[in-house]
Structure 1
């Protein structure tokens, strides 16, 4: 656990020195979500119906925007090789980096979602379900994205390839996340969709750090 915390603290300190990179993803999320009410108009029912999909797609794209930088800097300066050769488990070091990515890119999206939901006339209950769904789903996006970032590390045109690899894998999280809010808005129970998001999170927590570490070792060979 010490290795995980050290990796987490290191990435957070580095991000504090490169705040513009973090703010780019947040600004992208806010701008994309805010453009839809302006472009569609003030029709309340239509805005409420499209709100979950718009916010979730924007969160997915904002998360994807920061993934190419997850391992790139460490790979460029040789830090990644030192991590692979260190006596500390690479899986824990990778888990710390993914956790830092979620704290910087995922958690702010969760916190901003209620404010942006007000633009779509979402009621308080729908906003609570939206926040809970994002809280369960955005870590899944970061964990799966880390595997894709490791697989495309050092590949020319890796950003486009990363999007092609990850977007199909993100579909279940997107469907269950939007479905939870839509079910609540329709007067149904959102628990099944939230439970499926929780199951996806557990599976991702168990398997993706190992897959990411294996992909990094392949990329370093």
Structure 2
């Protein structure tokens, strides 16, 4: 049996983790504010996608209502994918990733914080705007709670899986297409369970099974994805 952790060491480490997270989030938000135009691209892309689907189906209320949940899920997925290549790219170019590896906090913790910032700036605005976008697509209002819950469980998984892919390709130049090719197969189960839960609710069936699977995937991804991404960054920089 291993010796119990020293309470003093745990107390000293916790403020370090929290302080590092605060500093990294503040830095990311400052950089995001300086390039506000780039930061708005995922949200504008999602809005454009919703409008194009509405135009393509000719404003048919019944047809739009049937595909509304799937369209919103695809919009969130592709909007997050749009900003995925830049998740660690800027830090690799300016040498910040090397500083991360030398920091007195675990690299996986910094990766998790950066992934949270990515989710909060790309997927969270779309999650908040989902009721409005759903109205544009004539989404039945009784499906909205299931859609919001599935997005709240599924979009963090997309960001965590995307962080692993972005870390694997951080050492490559012009890896945008490769990132998409690697990430999209990993996104398929999340999309199936997320949009499928809403489809089951629309058919009058119980959507809890799909939502529980999403929750289980989220727990596993929270535990393993930051560690896998940290290992990929170490390999890419060595």
Query: Shorter chain as normaliser: what TM range?
Result: over 0.9
Q: What is the CA deviation profile of residues 30-87 of structure 1, one whole-angstrom value per residue up to 9, with x for unaligned ones?
A: 1011111111123222111111111111211110000111111111111111111112
Shift, 1:157, TM fit = 3.2
Describe the superposition over 1:131-155 as per-residue Cα deviations: whole angstroms up to 9, x where unpaired: 1111111100100000000101131
RMSD: 1.1
TM-score where L is the length of structure 1 = 0.96
Once the two structures are TM-superposed, the CA of residue 88 in structure 1 deviates from its matched residue by 1.4
Cα distance in 2 for partners of 1:168, 1:119 equals 29
Name the counterpart of 1:210: 227
1: CA distance, partners of 2:81 / 2:127: 15
Structure 2 match to 1:134: 151
Q: What is the CA–CA distance in structure 2 between the aligned matches of 1:13 and 1:126, rounded to whole Å?
A: 37
Q: Identify unmatched segments of 5+ residues in structure 1.
A: none
Structure 1 segments, 4+ long, off by >4 Å, are none
- Residue 71 of structure 1 corresponds to which residue in structure 2? 88
Which residue is 2:38 aligned to?
21
Residue in 1 that maps onto 2:25? 8
Matched, 1:84 2:105: no
TM-score under structure 2 length normalisation: 0.90
Match of residue 194 from structure 2: 177
Structure 1 position 92, deviation (Å)? 0.8
SS of structure 2 residue aligned to 1:10: helix
* Per-residue Cα deviation, 1:101-136 (whole angstroms, up to 9, x for no partner): 011001011011111111221122211211111111
- Matched with 2:61 is 44
CA contact (8 A) 1:37 1:47 kept: yes
Indicate the residue corresponding to 1:155 in structure 2.
172
- For the residue of structure 2 that corresponds to 1:67, the secondary structure is coil
Aligned 8 A contact 1:26 1:109 in 2: yes
3-state SS in 1 of match to 2:170: coil
More helix by share: 1
